[in-house]
A = this chain, B = another copy of it.
Amino acid sequence: MTAPELIKEKAQLVDSYIKSFVINYEASEMGLKGLYESMKYSLFNGGKRFRPVLSILTAELLDYPAEKILPYASAVEFIHTYSLIHDDLPCMDDDDERRGQPTNHIKFNEWTALLAGDALLTESFYLINSNYLDQPELALRAGLELSRSAGPRGMVGGQAIDLASQDEVKIDEDLLTHIHNLKTGALIRASVVGSAYLAQASAEEIALLKNFGEKLGLAFQVADDILDHGEDESASYTQLLGLDGAKSFLEKLSKDCEDSLKTFGDRAKDLKLIVDYNLNRDK
């Protein structure tokens, strides 16, 4: 199986699960109906489901069934989705389009988009808290990992540093790596590590997968920068390291990812496929 086929297969599981969950989002009241429509609009805007697919592949690596990890995987996707809605708002990046479609606040309105983001963030913890009562301690640890990665110590903090540093004359490699680790890396790491907790990974396995998730999160961002090379004026690895330097850095990170997976042997073949895919992706 190729990486795109693998991603597509697992993404369909995520789509089905989220569809079955949001089927409860039926309301007759005007405001609630608008809120639900807005949440569903952004949940199904053609995202690749990269993060939840990672959760599934991590669970499967640890012999934990995909269907049991879907609530957690979807919780990660809910958080990713809320972050995109809020990032697009006028007071943040002020974007009118995402993936060729109107952004949430253009399609609906600003207050609906704001509340849809708040609702999706809250729902991600509802998903975890309502689906893992049979393994409560591991669910708390997964929720802790997710809340740490999504909040001020992670994604939200990275976004704040990024916005505040946009007027800075010079961003060095350390600061850029710090921003990316928080803004993108932390949630990618949590998609792996939270899943590993729920899949009853040992402490040693958790440590390896933490390292894997961290390196993959950064590799994902460097690959994005390489693809966007020349298009974007903001700070990037290609700007800091040059195109060749960025490519070498991506290769090094991909190697680190594979090293972290060595202990797992052949069981890690799907995750390795993702690492390779990211190394060579053209979109």
Contacts and interface: CB of A to CB of B under 8 A. Distances in A.
A235 B123 CA distance: 29
A132 interface: yes
Contact of A92 (B31, B114, B128, B152): B114
Contacts of A91: 89, 109-111, 114
Interface in A61-82: 82
Interface stretch (A157-165, A260-268, A272-280): A157-165
Copies of this chain, complex-wide, total 2
A208 interface: no
Interface residues of A, number: 56
Contacts of A126: 144, 147-148, 151
A209 B153 CA distance: 35
Nearest to A130: B144
A241 interface: no
A122 B140 contact: no
Contacts of A112: 160
B129 A161 contact: no
B111 A125 contact: no
Interface in A149-195: 150-152, 156-157, 159-165, 175, 178
A256 to B, nearest CB: 25
Contacts of A163: 31, 111
A259 interface: no
A39 interface: yes
Contact of A140 (B30, B132, B156, B175): B132
Contacts of A144: 126, 129-130
Given A122-B147, A126-B151, A159 B115 contact: yes
Contact of A164 (B31, B39, B110, B147): B31
A147 B119 CA distance: 9
Nearest to A147: B126
Contacts of A117: 118
Contacts of A119: 151-152, 156-157
A29 interface: yes
Across the A-B interface, the 9 shortest Cβ-Cβ residue pairs: A31-B164, A122-B151, A91-B110, A31-B161, A136-B136, A129-B144, A126-B147, A31-B160, A35-B160
Interface of A: 25, 29-32, 34-36, 39, 82, 86, 89, 91-92, 109-112, 114-115, 117-119, 121-123, 125-126, 128-130, 132-133, 136-137, 139-141, 143-144, 147-148, 150-152, 156-157, 159-165, 175, 178
29 contacts: A29-B175, A29-B178, A31-B157, A31-B165, A32-B160, A35-B156, A35-B157, A86-B115, A89-B114, A91-B109, A91-B111, A92-B114, A115-B156, A118-B121, A119-B152, A122-B150, A122-B151, A122-B152, A122-B156, A123-B147, A123-B151, A125-B147, A126-B151, A128-B143, A130-B144, A132-B140, A133-B140, A133-B141, A140-B140
